[in-house]
Structure formats: C-alpha cells, structure tokens
C-alpha cells in the first residue's frame, strides 16, 4: 500500500514538472531546449520580444561570463499569453499566463 502511494505521488510530481515543458503552435509543438530559430519557424515571430544585453562584470577580480537572455511573448491566444525565455538562444522556460 505504501509503495503504491509513493509511486503515485512520484508520478504526479514528474507530471507537474513537465506540464509547461511544451507549447502548441497550430499543429506544431515546441519544447524546452529548442532553439530560437526552431521556435520562430514553428510559431512565427513573437507578438513582442525583449533582448537583455549581457553585461560583463568583474567579481572578486574574475570576469563573470555574460549570457544573452531573450524574452518572447505570444498572445493573447484564447485569453492567455505564452511567455518564453531563451538563454543563449535555447528555450529554457515556457510560462502561460492569463494577464
């Protein structure tokens, strides 16, 4: 009994962690890890986008490597906005919000 409950709980945690790992664009599907070019090809240009310019900083005498971060928004689609975050042109986060 305990084992079955544990497996069910673990399965729900896995599912919850992957719920926002994909996004549908018409008949295409994008996933975390896709490149910005793949997302643009499947979903078209975003309705809005912001590129955060990387800033090199000195931290304790060492240079911290800057990374390029891009934030894209699609929508509203069916009353929701899809917020996508790219780091170095790789999709790392998909967040659906009803703003």
What CATH number does the domain containing 7 carry? Answer: 3.30.1450
pTM of the predicted protein model:
0.71
Range of the domain at 91: 2-97
User: Over its length of 99 residues, how does the chain's per-residue pLDDT go in tens digits?
Assistant: 445 444 444 444 444 444 568 999 999 999 999 999 999 999 999 999 999 877 666 666 666 667 889 999 999 988 999 999 999 999 999 999 996
**Residue 29 in 3-state DSSP?**
strand
Tell me how many domains the chain contains. 1
Reference 70, options 84, 56, 60, 55; nearest CA is: 84
How far apart (Å, rounded) are the C-alpha atoms in residues 91 and 55? 20
């Amino acid at each position: 009994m305990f084992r079955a409950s544990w497996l069910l709980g673990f399965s729900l945690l896995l599912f919850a962690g992957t719920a926002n790992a994909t996004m549908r664009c018409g008949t295409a599907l994008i996933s975390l890890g896709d490149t910005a070019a793949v997302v643009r090809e499947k979903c078209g240009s975003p309705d809005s986008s912001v590129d955060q310019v990387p800033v090199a900083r000195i931290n304790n005498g060492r240079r911290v490597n800057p990374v390029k971060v891009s934030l894209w928004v699609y929508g509203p689609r069916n009353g929701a906005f899809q917020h996508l975050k790219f780091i170095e042109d790789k999709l790392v986060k998909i967040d659906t919000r009803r703003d």
